[in-house]
Structure 1
Amino acid sequence: MTSSISPLGPSDRSRSFAHMLRERVAASPDREAFRHRVGDRWESLTWQQTWDRVEQLAAGLVDLGVAAQERVAIASGTRIEWVLADFAVMCAGAATTTVYPSTTPQEVAHILGDSGSVLLFAEDHAQLAKLDRDALPELRHLAVFDDGPGAGSVTGDVLSLDALAERGRALLTREPETVKRRIDELEPERLATLIYTSGTTGTPKGVRLVHDNWTYEAAAIEPLDLIRPDDLHYLWLPLSHVFGKMLLAIQLQIGFATAVDGDLDRIVANLAAVQPTFMCGAPRIFEKVRARATMTAHGAGGAKARIFDWGFGVGVKVSQARQSGTRVAPWLAAQHAIADRLVFTKIRHVLGGRIRRLVSGSAKLSRDVAEWFDAAGLPILEGYGLTETSAATFVNLPGDNRIGTVGPPVPGTEVIIASDGEILVRGPGVMRGYHNRPDATDDVLTADGWFHTGDIGELRDGNLVVTDRKKDLIKTSGGKYVAPQKIETLFKAHSPYVSQVVVHGDGRNFVSALITLEADAVGAWATGQGLQLRTPAELAAAPEVRELLDHDVQAVNSKLERWETIKRYTILPHDLTVEDGELTPSLKVRRKAVENRYADQLDALYADVD
């Protein structure tokens, strides 16, 4: 068992999230706080303008009768209104319940009912349509962001944001200290946020995060120099996810500006328009950027493809030399300068041309992907955390980026590795329990504050390496343990033609896999081969595509132990989706759901051996 800790006491942080907002506005009222899209243009809000709108909305909530510590839910994608509503909830002394817009009506009913939410901010009327009001007696009020047809300023009990702010202005005219009083009453251990774990199995559990969780995260990250006051952050991550929400807390602490837009289809266009210096993402986003750049270069063929491959060959050698602390030879440095001019500047241009820092979290980042970005002058700092630990628990540091690890613990957090390899953490970022679930809380939190993460890992020179989820480890019928995430990450990093890989084999004779295609990449390859294959189903069934993936499987298998190798696989005729319940909203595979749905296909792979 190994432990690591850095000091960070309660006196180093603000009293609450709302206090952080108020302090930020006082410190830099006229600086840009947020940028958001209105139609095809971007508009800005200063910190003072942000506060003015938040105070009005918070007062509107008070006027509606929302009491301190009551829960207010937000069901919406990432947009400026989500930010303003969330800030308003906490400035009213209430707590935010987060709901992904892709959440099913059944799960919405569970989350709103279990949390006891008294008001719901919905993105649009499609979100409102999920509600069964008769089954939610505590839900007293509704508000909608998109004031579309049938909404008006007030339709029945559905308020627009403007109508809610108008109520707030009226109350502030009568009682100007309303919101100030609510903020002054807040204490560090007051509930701030309920985030229901999307989970890969079972009913979602509400993670209780108090104000002290968020103020700790902000105070712990600030001295690490990950992001600075003059940075421009591009935020597309789901704000219903702990990673996105944590970034708002850090923004209040440090004071940088954030451009907000959760439309995944517009990421490339937004990066070109906004030209951010800082962006966080899940590994899948970085995998897609790498795959698209590689396919574009190889699709051009000839000299362009050869220069592209040569440039990244040089860049990865330089990256590996830096990682090992080896001096880069003069001849290699000269080649790298040429590669930078011919290849890497184009990659950086795709991301807006000004990126100074990228951070990856939510799932394991492949070493190959990390080295590819590092070669291009776009180092990715990988971190690790869970909803139950308020996101950032470990993170690599600028100037000491240990690719293949998730870095050291953030200041104030302790870590030990249990005898079975499970990662345990303790510190101010750890949740205060699961809402209404003392039994589930006792399963993961010890009496002395150690949280069982459910992940397997090890410490190397104080830096954490995460291997896999404890519950996902496969034991073949031959008694060999296999970490599926290791194989899946390796495969997706190697092949630009695959979107998802789900490794299977628990209790089986050998390891198999379900594979989905990166349709655009495989479609472009097929066109280049003169094949008339258009739909994902046609591509999945084509023997030529099967032969293409056979080469990738062999290449990946060559890097694995014999018992880890993929012996057989099935190509699914469509990708996995959040809507079908195969992925969580943070794009993690719901392994059991996928295995249950495709049980017949998996059984067929073992039909002659089981």
Structure 2
Amino acid sequence: MPVVKPFSTIAEMFDVITRHFIDSEKPAYLYKVAGVYKPLSYKELREMVELTACGLAALGLKKGDKVGIVSENRIEWIIVDFAMTTTGIIDVPVYPTLTYKQIEYIFNDAGVKATFVSNQVQLSKIEKIYDNVETLDKVIIFTEKGISAPGYLLSLRELMELGRDFKAKNPDYWINMIREVRPEDILTIIYTSGTTGEPKGVVLTHKNLVSNILSATQVVPMTPEDTFLSYLPFSHSFERMAGFYAAFACGGVVALAESIDTIAQNLLEVKPTVMTSVPRLFERLYNRIIKGVESGPALRKKIFYWALDVGKKYVQASKRGKVPAWLKSQYALADKLVFSKLKARTGGRIKFFVSGGAALAKELGEFFEALGIKIIEGYGLTETSPVLTVNRLDDYKFGTVGKPIPGVEIKIAEDGEILARGPNVMLGYYNNPKATAEVIDKDGWFHTGDIGYFDEDGFLVITDRKKHIFVSSGGKNIAPQPIESLLAQSNYIDQVVVIGEGKPFLTALIVPDFEAIKDYAKQNGISFQDDKELLHRDEIYRLFEREIKRINKELAQHEHIRNFRLLDKPFTIEDGELTPTLKVKRKVVEQKYKNLIEQMYEELGV
């Protein structure tokens, strides 16, 4: 079902949706308070947003001003975002994992006049940069526990009190501001994670986001009966559009996960029907399932693989439109013995997952489909608000990112780069006409930087990022992402980066799945004191040699991994090796492990 009511701006969306559900018993949001999920009604939400909006006006902030948000996902994020978008204030969301220096650069570039922060940790970053950001005046904090109190600081509660006084004197201010917001007005400036050079501010209008919401909800069914579990950062365009705005526009209930670490528990509490995610979650889930099966009794293992085989046959027969009676009964048994128990881990009500942010391995999609869990993959960029293509529930193909959504044009350039055009393409990069001209040509085509092609059925296939394509010293073009996806399916590999630019062959930096290799060590009588010692045991090195050898058989000769190193700690956002959507920053990793990489090639005479 498309959106509940038509709208042309995010401001209007908030107004019409909250009015529509104002007397509904169904909550708009669910969020944790003292360990228990608490509902927030549409009426409460509307009142809090209006008071916050009026509070911002009382501080002298007006349409066109830029205001930051430095916070983890929480109910206050939603309230302050709607307060700004309903009054024409441009919000500048910042990942809470950024350093104070990175925030300083963004705030100076955008000319931020005020900012919201979630807690003392984020406030301490702002305190360090306050004097260095000339435009910055007020700071509003969500939590009031144990905070220091510089003169420029006030709490969200205090801001709402200011709003209450302002509203008493200006009762029609907020509703008039909603009507003043135009589709062409700037909604937000989202700074890219800056894997190369300084981050760039992506300027998105109300029209950009609204066009994407309306198109995406035409092809991905969401209804007021749906419950979403949201854990990806709102600072990122994927969750902002899909898990936040689109879910709201369709009248769904959005439950906020406490963190990425609590998802397993939150799934059981919320029992969502739809969830947006990134492939990393499915990789972890897959490895956990397989590990549980492999370490279990022989009979359970036999039943699982029998059920998986039945599931795959059932899916293929369903696609052909003819499922024989014997297969139906076998599938019912497989569901009872295996699939229903696995689906219960997701809360038991999931209709589908939407995967984005990075490529989903074809094998993963097929594996979960056989279990009765459907994952539909889409593709897009911050610069395109973000969705360009998506697989439909009734028209999908794993290993592809689907077909263009309504209103979006896609074409492939001569060098294989994917180009996009449509109402969702950004205005440009803030204060950076040179960078804008490099990616949007005179005909309005946005150059994505991704390489891909349309298959015979019109599905878009992405091979890799243009800048990630290796050219080996032998002149071969090699896309590392598909190789990394294949390697990551090993039970023993948690994270991996393939190396090979300008080299005669490929090597890999591997972060092992420490739980899996500890289990292997115990089963094989390998003693060790800690993780580091375990990694240096010959038996573990040989285990990975065998894994690499097995995976190499599935790859072309020039894609073979010829050497590798095991790392004793995972890549993290905090160490700057991952983006907030868990994509590896390849250049950062290559620089950090430069000596190890050189050793791998020297060992083999390069």
TM-score greater than 0.5 by the shorter chain: yes
The separation in 2 between residues aligned to 1:213 and 1:521, in whole angstroms, is: 45
After TM superposition, the structure 1 = structure 2 runs for residues 36-47 of structure 1, keeping only pairs within 5 Å, are: 36-47=31-42
Output the CA distance in 2 between the equivalents of 1:319 and 1:603. 46
Indicate the SS of the match to 2:187. Answer: strand
Amino acid at match of 1:390: S
Are 1:111 and 2:106 an aligned pair? yes
Cα distance in 2 for partners of 1:123, 1:534 equals 40
Question: How do residues 127-526 of structure 1 correspond to structure 2 at under 5 angstroms?
Answer: 127-131=122-126, 132-151=129-148, 156-247=151-242, 248-322=244-318, 325=320, 327-460=322-455, 461-493=457-489, 495-526=490-521
Paired residues of 1:295 and 1:496 also in contact (CA < 8 A): yes
Superposed displacement of residue 381, structure 1: 0.3
2:209 and 2:37 map into 1 onto residues whose CA distance is 29
Once residues 564 and 323 of structure 2 are traced to their aligned partners in structure 1, the CA distance between those partners, rounded to angstroms, is: 42
Q: Match for 1:24 among 17, 26, 43?
A: 17
Q: Aligned residue for 2:7?
A: 14
Contact 2:228 2:247 in 1 (8 A): no
Distance 2:462 2:32 in 1: 37
Q: Distance in 1 between matches of 2:488 and 2:203?
A: 34
- Using the TM superposition, give the Cα deviation of residue 529 of structure 1 relative to its aligned residue in structure 2, in angstroms: 3.1
**For 2:295, what is the secondary structure of its paired residue?**
helix
Separation in structure 1 between the aligned mates of residue 529 and residue 387 of structure 2, nearest angstrom? 42
Rounded Cα–Cα distance in structure 1 between residues aligned with 2:62 and 2:355: 37
Q: Match for residue 4 of structure 1?
A: none
- Structure 2: distance between partners of 1:428 and 1:597: 40
Q: What SS class does the counterpart of residue 508 from structure 1 fall into?
A: coil
Supply the distance in 2 between the matched residues of 1:411 and 1:553 (Cα, whole angstroms). Answer: 42
The unaligned stretches of length 5 or more in structure 2 are none
TM-score for the superposition, normalised by structure 1: 0.95
Q: Does structure 2 retain, via aligned residues, the 8 Å contact 1:497–1:517?
A: yes
Deviation at 1:13, TM superposition (A): 5.6
Amino acid at match of 2:440: L
- Following the alignment from structure 1 to structure 2, what is the Cα–Cα distance between the partners of residues 135 and 580? 25
SS in 2 for 1:66: coil
Q: Distance in 2 between matches of 1:490 and 1:416?
A: 28
2:73 is the counterpart of 1:78 = yes
Give yes or no for contact 1:71–1:95 (8 Å, CA) kept in 2. Answer: yes
Task: Output the CA distance in 2 between the equivalents of 1:469 and 1:499.
Answer: 22
Instruction: Give distance in 2, aligned partners of 1:589 and 1:101.
Output: 18
List per-residue Cα deviations over 1:355-412 (Å, max 9, x = no partner).
Answer: 1111100000001111111011111000001001112211111112211111111110
Q: Is the 8 A contact 2:186 2:203 kept in 1?
A: yes
Can you list the C-alpha shifts for 1:139-185, whole angstroms capped at 9, x where unaligned? 1110111211135xx65221111111111111111111111122111
Counterpart Cα distance in 2 of 1:321 and 1:69? 56
Do residues 563 (structure 1) and 558 (structure 2) align?
A: yes
For 2:271, the aligned partner's letter is Q
CA contact (8 A) 1:527 1:533 kept: no
8 A Cα contact 1:233 1:258, kept in partner = yes
SS of corresponding position for 2:160: helix
Q: Name the CA distance, whole Å, in 1 between partners of 2:171 and 2:46.
A: 14
Distance across 2 between alignment mates of 1:210 and 1:396: 26
CA distance in 1, matches of 2:356, 2:528: 35
Q: Which residue of 2 aligns with 1:606?
A: 601
Contact 1:523 1:533 in 2 (8 A): no
Question: Relative contact order (C-alpha < 8 Å, sep 6+): which is higher?
Answer: 1
* Native 8 Å contact 2:32 2:258 kept in 1: no
Q: By how many angstroms is 1:320 displaced?
A: 4.4
Note if contact 1:92-1:183 (Cα within 8 Å) is conserved in structure 2: yes
CA contact (8 A) 1:538 1:573 kept: no
Residue-pair matches, total: 596
Distance 2:206 2:66 in 1: 14
5+ unaligned residues in a row in structure 1: which ranges?
1-7
Q: Structure 1 residues 318 and 549, CA, compared in 2 at 3 Å: closer, same or farther?
A: farther
2: CA distance, partners of 1:327 / 1:475: 46
What TM-score do you get using the length of structure 2 for normalisation? 0.95
Measure, in 2, the Cα distance between the counterparts of 1:428 and 1:522: 49
Give the secondary-structure state (helix, strand or coil) at the position aligned to 2:28.
Answer: strand
Distance 1:453 1:133 in 2: 35
- 1:3 aligns to what? none
What is the SS of the residue equivalent to 2:281? helix
